[in-house]
Chain A
């Protein structure tokens, strides 16, 4: 499964589990407007670590993603 598909899957699953309404997902979507709060995003990052074996946000020079596109790019870059 591609990184992007896995990320989208986790956004959808966590939104469902946490009873949040997810905004339509696009690269331009601002994460804080996605319908997921910090706790939800934290769970997404933990689940992605379990699925993909990486947590790109723990690195000291990690950037803070603003949009979903930024978020996906951070994971894609970490995989390279």
Chain B
């Protein structure tokens, strides 16, 4: 298996061989890697993008995948625009990443102010022979949710993203990979790179496709390795098509995998190895657990040497590894790691016997089906209502999505105004939230309360971990 640092993505995936037999299957179109030898998704205009900072803003995962394959080693920087990035955040992303080219699959992409070049990206390849050898150690920028409401932009390179793949052993064997994730998020990108660097193919999911149709399609392509969050898997198990796939390997990441979901997957896919992984966009992939039990062995902690070192400080898991992101992009950003190179994941763990279990997040971060919500960004929207004095956004456990967002709100005047008015204010607050926030961040319940618990520090008590 080729080491990713020997060259750009195209060079490395080519070294795994069998290009004509390997495919990327989207919901609406597909491309074999062999097609890319003399074809280009970028209309053969790769040279125009050389050395540039490129925003990959496609509607489809397949076109994003093709652009990544063609541009690694060629562009200076690739910014992967996640599917739900609010349009209002685009100017911030463009400025912070110094974007000077846009790659889009829209028929007539709207011009982005300050971006001089736009190149179309199509799954129907144009005949072109492109020089894709690595000249640039391309930066890959992944976006994650930030406290301020602005996305945090996390800087990786192919070598850090692929760090967990090189030593993946039997997992790296050629196969048909798939994931419920979008490949423009860290969890999905890992699977995409595993498929490409390990000599396999991949079935890409689509937001426009039902769970049932996706499972049927993945099954038809003979999927062997498939990943998703516990919430993705709960949804899959609620589908009549759950048994349309017969994978050898089932992977969970992005949320706490409880014993119930692990047991259900074992029952549904008795022939599959079932592993849950811990990874974050910032810290990279830390470990896989394959023994079918929730939590992870305590022996993984404080082990010296190796690719990944983990320790627990102030209750939360800290990780130092070659797979850790380099930094956050932009001025005045907090350091991503401490002085010793450890990233604080913010995930609080508790030891029970010889295993550690994840019990929640410090700082009250809420994980709704694998998507992070910072309470502060929701509180900021709620507090903008003229009748709100203060609010606290917290998590509520849920068996379908792991967690839901709940808000406690104190209105001006402390006590409750007349009943009819409270209901009206609640509706107004929720309307504001729906207008300003993605769906998963909108509180599902809003409680009007007379007082919120404060710590002696004067800070709101956040007691979710």
User: Which A residues fall within an 8 A CB radius of B?
Assistant: 18, 30-33, 38-39, 41-43, 45-46, 50, 55, 57-62, 64-66
Contacts and interface: CB of A to CB of B under 8 A. Distances in A.
A66 B399 contact: no
Given A32-B211, A62-B399, A39 B440 contact: yes
B263 interface: yes
A57 B235 contact: no
Pick the most buried of A32, A61, A65: most chain B CB atoms within 10 A of its CB: A32
Contacts of B231: 38
A46 B238 contact: no
A60 B259 contact: yes
A45 B239 contact: no
B210 A33 contact: yes
A63 to B, nearest CB: 8
Contacts of A46: 396, 398, 404, 444-445
A24 to B, nearest CB: 17
A46 B444 CA distance: 9
B72 to A, nearest CB: 33
Interface of B: 210-212, 231, 234-235, 237-240, 259-260, 263-264, 368-369, 396-401, 404, 439-440, 444-445
B368 A64 contact: no
B439 A65 contact: no
A42 B400 contact: yes
Contacts of A33: 210, 212
B399 A55 contact: yes
A30 B240 contact: yes
Contacts of B234: 38, 64
The 4 closest A-B pairs by CB, nearest first: A57-B399, A42-B400, A64-B237, A42-B401
8 contacts: A30-B239, A33-B212, A39-B369, A43-B404, A46-B398, A57-B399, A60-B260, A64-B234
A46 B402 CA distance: 11
B238 A64 contact: yes
Nearest to B234: A64
A65 B238 contact: yes
Contact of B444 (A43, A61, A62, A65): A43
Contacts of A65: 238
Nearest to B430: A17
A80 to B, nearest CB: 19
A38 B400 contact: yes
Pick the most buried of B210, B238, B404: most chain A CB atoms within 10 A of its CB: B238
A75 to B, nearest CB: 13
